[in-house]
Amino acid sequence: MPTNRQILLDNRPDGEATTSNFKLVTTDTPALQDGQVLVRHHYLSLDPYMRGRMNESKSYAQPQPLGEVMIGGTVGEVVESRHPKFKPGDQVVGMGGWQEYSVVDGNAPGLLRKVDTTHVPLSYYLGAVGMPGVTAWYGLTQIIAAKEGDTVVVSAATGAVGSAYAALAKARGCRAVGIAGGPAKCKYAVEELGFDACIDYREHPDVKTMAKALKEACPNGIDGYFENVGGYILDAVLLRTNAFARVAVCGMIAGYDGAPLPLQNPALILVNRLKIEGFIVSEHMELWPQALQELGTLVAQGKLKPRETIAQGIESAPEAFLGLLKGKNFGKQLVELI
């Protein structure tokens, strides 16, 4: 059996996460039992939600156990199978974790899904046509309920979620406005992703200047906001919401390190009759087929051209992950493992 390199969570962060929270180990992949499948991972997905799992504290999900392989989405190829549904060469998406190989129970529903790479590159099943894409779809269609003419805003605009959000919003006749860090990302958001405008938060580092920038970018106010970040950007967005605006809360990166991150003016919820709703996309699996179909079509039509930042080798995953949390990636952050 092949040798497998794995990244474990070794200890929990005290404040900011560091590479010393992780540990690289080498093991042998075990011999397969009946019904099991051995998958060689081509790509590992790195996502902000993983930071939440590193904490001990109560969250919507179980904390990542210490001494175990870090959780994570993967795409790869079946290299050995003792399950009739899978054969070597099948391309699959799953939750293989931060490692080069995984052994999967082929009978467990939803653990391993075969994908078609005729029109959609394999890695996209971790991004635009995967969990992040469905996340954008759910927030925009189920919570924001975007309709033609709405102005809809998203933070972390050039990430995997933001990229899909722009394409989905434009397909619905919305004005799509992004928020991203730095002129290169903002240029890319408008020129490649189709945003009507993009605000550089580094140029607007406080509520007042951000609210002013939002006023210029959203002359008709804000009808929907997809929250990936939290903190002062949310405060500024709320100041510009129209009556009956909807806010989909998907991530609050800025708060994962444990620093308090209050919402400064919740009275705006009443004043503007806002709806603010949190969600976790994995709790709405019944909607994934519909979402994935639309996202796959947008990719095939060239209307969704996501960018990827690809780190090489499993050993680079911790550093790449910490960079993601600081916004150093440009587009979907992946680790290539082959």
Does residue 97 contact residue 123 with C-beta atoms inside 8 Å? Answer: no
* Site for its own copies, residues 60 to 119, rule: CB under 8 A: 60
Rounded to an integer, what distance in angstroms lies between the CA atom of residue 324 and that of residue 170?
26
Interface mask toward its own copies for 143-182; x: CB under 8 A: ----------------------------------------
Minimum Å gap between C-beta 259 and its own copies is: 11
Q: Is 316 exposed, middle or buried (0-12, 13-18, 19+ CB in 10 A)?
A: middle
The reply on whether position 13 binds its own copies by CB under 8 A is: no
Which helix H or strand E contains 230, and what residues bound it? none
List the x/- string, 42-71, binding to its own copies by CB under 8 A: ----------------xxx-----------
Helix (H, G, I), strand (E, B) or coil at 83: coil
What sign results for the dihedral spanned by CA atoms 47, 51, 57, 63?
A: positive
* Residue 212 in contact with its own copies, rule: CB under 8 A: no
CB 126 within 8 A of CB 43: yes
> Which of 111, 269 has the CB closer to its own copies?
269
Q: Which two tokens stand for residue 253?
A: 């990166």
Half-sphere exposure of 73 (CA within 13 A, CB side): 23
CB of 164 to its own copies, least distance (A): 19
Which one, 260 or 302, has the nearer CB to its own copies? 260
Residue of 62, 216, 267, 286 that binds its own copies (CB under 8 A) = 267
Which of residues 271 and 285 has its CB atom nearest to its own copies in the complex?
Answer: 271
Name the segment binding its own copies (CB under 8 A); options: 109-117, 203-211, 217-225, 275-283: 275-283
Asked whether position 224 contacts its own copies by CB under 8 A, the answer is: no
Encoded tokens for 108: 């467990």
Nearer to its own copies, 41 or 51 (CB): 51
| Residue 278 in contact with its own copies, rule: CB under 8 A | yes
- DSSP 8-state assignment for residue 141: I
Name residues whose C-beta falls within 8 Å of residue 60's C-beta, 6 or more positions apart in sequence.
280
Among 260, 286, 289, 302, indicate the residue that binds its own copies (CB under 8 A): 260
Q: Which residues contact 281 (CB under 8 A, 6 or more apart)?
A: 131, 134, 135, 138, 250
Residues that bind its own copies (CB under 8 A): 58-60, 230, 234, 243, 249-252, 255, 260-267, 269-280, 283
